[in-house]
Structure 1
Amino acid sequence: MRKCEGIYSLIGKVNHKSAIYGFELLKEKNLHPRQMPLIIHLSKCEGCTQKELAEKMQIKPSTLNVMIGRMEKNGYIEKKQDEKDSRKSRIYFTEKGKSISEDCHKRFAMIQQKLQEYFTKEEQEELDRLLNKFCDCLDEQTEILKKERKERKERSDA
């Protein structure tokens, strides 16, 4: 019999198992699963700045800088000086990176296919609905926490 777990705990467990699966899937390519969003976003906006990528990925520029450094070291991406503004650099795939990106997209499609085979159409739709509802709840709660923190700061500054 299954032990009853809270939603947040179950989501954490799914996230952990997904990361393990991602590690196994990407190990031979010398990629980390957390680099996948960078590959996906860069494939959509190759040549964008680091700041633009960080905003699209909703991560700190310093976090992205570490990712970019590792992927540069592995020969997947390169920075090039912006032709119009030398203070900016733009991020591009190398040939090796383009190949990896295509391979990752194929692997992602394979994962999607496996999940679609595992769940009925109705289950997929219900899971999609529930996970989106969960995301909306987290967004709402995050905004409440930010607002409360701001109000506490304003009171303490007064």
Structure 2
Amino acid sequence: MKNTTVVQLYRELLQLSRQMHRMEHWMAHQCKGHSMHHSQHYLLSLIEQHDGAIQQDLVEEMDIRPSSMSELLSKLEQADLIIREKDDNDQRVMRVRITEKGKQHVEQMKGHLSDLTINLFDCLTEEEREKLLSLIQKINTHINDKMESGNLHMMHRGMHHHEHHYSKF
């Protein structure tokens, strides 16, 4: 592949990423009664999938600082979407649970996400979607492999985690 094609591919993917980011913000504002940042929506969705998760596991999954996680969780707790409670076996461990109100919010988000994704990919045939998914998975695996082996030196600069963390989920 010519270098100009690779650069153009990178630019198109970057533009697509920005557009998808804007669409996530739009979706977040569509959820009635909640003016939440998309990272709060994502975290609430994670908690719904892994109810009772340990706060530290959520930190690693989202690759954010513990202080940032505490701030996000506090906002969700203030909105009565989650509760935090100490682990029965180890009082130092904090478990995070979703409330009924939080579950309702996640269901609302899923409806908006379904609409969003259908509209996002309706220009592609099913075969094209499957091929695109396969290619994106291949690129993600390639980047992860390079990061793990230390062969992608520009990755993780300026980020707060300098090692690759494996998901606990």
Please tell me the residue identity of whatever aligns with 2:55: Q
Counting only pairs closer than 5 Å after superposition, residues 141-156 of structure 1 correspond to structure 2 as 141-145=146-150
| Higher relative contact order (Cα pairs below 8 Å, separated by 6+ residues) | 2
Selected match of 1:87 from 88, 92, 97 = 92
| 2:131 maps to 1:126 | yes
- The superposition leaves residues 21-51 of structure 1 with CA deviations (integer Å, 9 ceiling, x where unpaired) of 1111112421212223312221111111101
- The superposition leaves residues 83-139 of structure 1 with CA deviations (integer Å, 9 ceiling, x where unpaired) of 222222211122321211111122222223223433111210121111112102211
Please tell me the residue identity of whatever aligns with 2:22: I
Normalized per residue, which structure has more helix? 1
Question: Equivalents in 1 of 2:67, 2:10: separation in Å?
Answer: 28
In the other structure, the counterpart of 2:73 is 68
State the TM-score, normalized to the length of structure 1. 0.77
Matched length: 146
Contact 1:54 1:61 in 2 (8 A): yes
Q: Which runs of 5+ in 1 are unaligned?
A: 149-158
State the TM-score, normalized to the length of structure 2. 0.73
Contact 1:41 1:57 in 2 (8 A): no
In the other structure, the counterpart of 1:97 is 102
TM-superposed deviation, 1:14: 1.5
In the other structure, the counterpart of 2:58 is 53
Contact 2:28 2:41 in 1 (8 A): no
The alignment's C-alpha RMSD in Å is: 2.5
Question: Equivalents in 2 of 1:64, 1:146: separation in Å?
Answer: 30
Question: Equivalents in 2 of 1:112, 1:83: separation in Å?
Answer: 40
**Larger Rg belongs to:** 1
Percent of residue pairs bearing the same amino acid type: 23
Question: Equivalents in 1 of 2:18, 2:75: separation in Å?
Answer: 22
